[in-house]
Amino acid sequence: MDWSALWLSLRLGAFTVLFLLPIALFAGRALAYSDRAGKSVAEAVVALPLVLPPTVLGYYLLVAFGAASPLGSLWQDAFGRTLVFSFDGLLLASILVNLPFAIQPAQRAFEAIPQDVREAAACCGMTPWQAVLRVELPLAWPGLLTGLVLSFAHTLGEFGVVLMVGGSVPGETRTAAIAIYDRVQAFDEAAAGRMSMVLLALSLLTTGLAFALSRRTGRRRP
Amino acid sequence: MSGRASDMPGLAAALRQGGPIALDARIDCAAGEILALVGPSGSGKTTILRAIAGTYRPQHGRIAVGGETWLDDSSGICLPAHRRRVGIVFQSYALFPHMTAQENVAAAMGHLPRAERPARAARLLDMVHLSGLEARRPSALSGGQQQRVAVARALARDPALLLLDEPFAAVDKATRQRLYREIVELRRTLRMPVVLVTHDLDEASMLADRIAVLHRGRTLQAGTPQEVTRRPVSPDVARLVDLHNLFEATLAEHRPAAGRSLIEWNGQRLEVAHAPGFAVGCRVAWAVPSGFVVLHRRDRPSRGDRENPVAGTIETMLAIGEMAQLSLRPHGQALPIRFAVPMHVAERNGLAPGVEAAVSLLAEGIHLMAPSDGAAR
């Protein structure tokens, strides 16, 4: 059992969710309430990771993160670390890959708030910020949380992009999913089986949580 | 409406835009007055209400409430909704589903110290007869109860203007009657202008001091319910206020001494109140409310039968409660005249579809208008 790989996966999931929370909040809300011409384009871009093969996505991220790229060299100058084959790069890739999982449920949750309820908040004298905090967030948070739980579960299971961008550096980029693959390659079926069982249990737990939360969203509607 | 209240400046709004929803509306409502905006769906009623509340920004316009300018495109003023002291009851009530009734009401009390809010919210809920239900969420309240929470919430802000958007549309008839009485009761204590949006003319006539008739974003006429329903300014307004007895005729003669004018319609002359505004020979539209159509009773003939008698065939008869709604098609005329009599009168006179009957059109009830271009009657 490769505990360091599991710990790395959990850490990656936690950080991914932490960074995705504000992104999902703002992007989801903006997409829900915008009716600008560019909305469809933005929605398509957000949904892209769902349909793109992980290798394709991984390839472009590898190119974008490389020391020769502007982003890669900037990162190197700022933090003294490379993006490729590092936890930083893995995290950045994980955030991008999980955008649709986090943003789409958040967008649906904001869309489900009736327009007149939002207008009522303003007509009750609430400033836009107060309306978000006191009316929109309490109504939308189950949806937001659903998205974050899904992102977490998805991060635990992500394989292709991780392999392309991070490789399999123990303690740095070797996540549980990669470790299972390594174990199978080494004919260590017992270890692969144990780790698979742990991932299965974790995934079941998180998706169960996601469904429970989304049911709660449904109940909260007037 | 006390004299003091009507001295206070009320609501004055003028809104104008070409699209996407065309508007050309003037809305005036004095403090303490209830103004009903009446019109079919799509006439812009709700858009006007949203523009006044500040959740919709029209291209051009001016809105002033209580001496304060909320919108003036010529000087670039447009107060955001949360800074307009407005109370609004939405058609769907739009209560906050995650808050209790009391929290919903207190949510509109941002202007009060936090400590005062619960007690004041409880007082408002008591005023709308909801004591004991303060801790319930909207989902645990009936439609009528939700409407009352919405009214209490709208008043919680001490609004300078109260807006009611079809507030009775979503409740059953019995509840609606009760809510009407409560609104009538409540309005005695209100000192602000109240704008009520409705498509129900009866509701508007019952609750409002004045009615503004809207069509395609334009205010066609504003006046007391009686003025608007009996003296519509145009055939369009007549149709919008359900004045179905609408016809065209030619002005035949003026008899100022008798206080009468005569119109030529369907081969006969009808006496109407003296209308010097129309020249002899010109086409006029005329309308008569069904209340001024009097049946010639076989059981009890009267001298009044000589006033504008019209004979024809009963076309339809519809019993609505104790009243019979009838339509009589005059001989030689395609369009029927509608009127109503008590059911027992209809029975005693043997009224039924196909039966010959006669009515008198009372001269003082006949209203003349300039014909509209589209009116082919």
Chain A segment 139-158 residues within 8 A of B by beta carbon are 139
pLDDT band at B2 (very low <50, low <70, confident <90, very high): very low
Question: Is residue B1 scored above 50 in pLDDT?
Answer: no
pLDDT for res A217: 57
pLDDT in tens, B306-360: 889 999 999 999 998 899 999 999 998 889 999 999 999 999 899 999 999 999 9
- The more confidently predicted of residues B372 and B192 is B192
What's the CATH number where B28 sits? 3.40.50.300
Interchain CB contact of A218 with B (< 8 Å):
no
pLDDT for res A222: 42
Counting residues of chain B whose pLDDT is more than 70, the rounded percentage is 96
pLDDT band at B377 (very low <50, low <70, confident <90, very high): very low
Domain boundary residue among B224, B240, B256? B240
pLDDT in tens, B116-140: 999 999 999 998 889 999 899 999 9
- Cα separation values, B168 from B151, B198, B224, Å: 11, 9, 21
Average pLDDT over residues B287-295: 92
Residues B134 and B219 both lie in one domain:
yes
Q: How many domains does chain B have?
A: 2
In a domain, B143, yes or no: yes
DSSP 3-state assignment of B216?
coil
Segment (H or E) for A4: helix A3-33
What's the CATH number where B317 sits? 2.40.50.100
Give the alpha-carbon dihedral of B281, B286, B288, B289, to 10 degrees.
Answer: -160
- Which chain A residue shows the shortest CA-CA distance from B89? A120
Of A126, A128, A220, which has the smallest distance from its Cβ to B98's Cβ?
A: A220
Interchain CB contact of B168 with A (< 8 Å):
no
pLDDT for res B4: 39
Residues B186 and B64 both lie in one domain:
yes
Domain boundary residue among B218, B240, B262? B240
Domain that holds residue B362: 246-369
Q: Do A120 and B139 touch (CB under 8 A)?
A: no
Instruction: Assess contact for B362 and B292: CB atoms under 8 A.
Output: yes
pLDDT in tens, A10-49: 999 999 999 999 999 999 999 999 888 888 999 999 999 9
Interchain CB contact of A134 with B (< 8 Å):
yes
Spacing of C-alpha B227 from chain mean position: 11
pLDDT for res A221: 46
pLDDT band at B8 (very low <50, low <70, confident <90, very high): low
Domain boundary residue among B188, B207, B240? B240
Residues B56 and B70 both lie in one domain:
yes
**Predicted ipTM?**
0.79
Give the residue from A27, A4, A13 showing the smallest Cα distance to A144: A27
pLDDT in tens, B181-220: 888 888 888 889 999 999 888 889 989 999 999 999 999 9
Residues B123 and B268 both lie in one domain:
no
Q: Exposed e or buried b for every residue in B281-315, given b needs 16+ CB within 10 A? A: eeebbbbbbbebbbbbeeeeeeeeeeebebebebe
pLDDT band at A219 (very low <50, low <70, confident <90, very high): low
pLDDT for res B375: 41
Residues B222 and B256 both lie in one domain:
no
Q: Do A123 and B55 touch (CB under 8 A)?
A: yes
Average pLDDT over residues A107-126: 94
pLDDT for res B373: 65
Cα B113 to Cα B88: distance, rounded to the nearest angstrom: 22
pLDDT band at B5 (very low <50, low <70, confident <90, very high): very low
Interchain CB contact of A132 with B (< 8 Å):
no
Q: Do B157 and A139 touch (CB under 8 A)?
A: no
Question: Is residue B3 scored above 50 in pLDDT?
Answer: no
pLDDT in tens, B209-245: 999 999 999 999 999 999 998 899 999 999 888 888 9
Give the domains, in start order, of chain A with CATH numbers.
Answer: 3-220 (1.10.3720.10)
pLDDT for res A126: 94
Distance (Å) from the C-alpha of residue A165 to the closest C-alpha of chain B?
A: 44
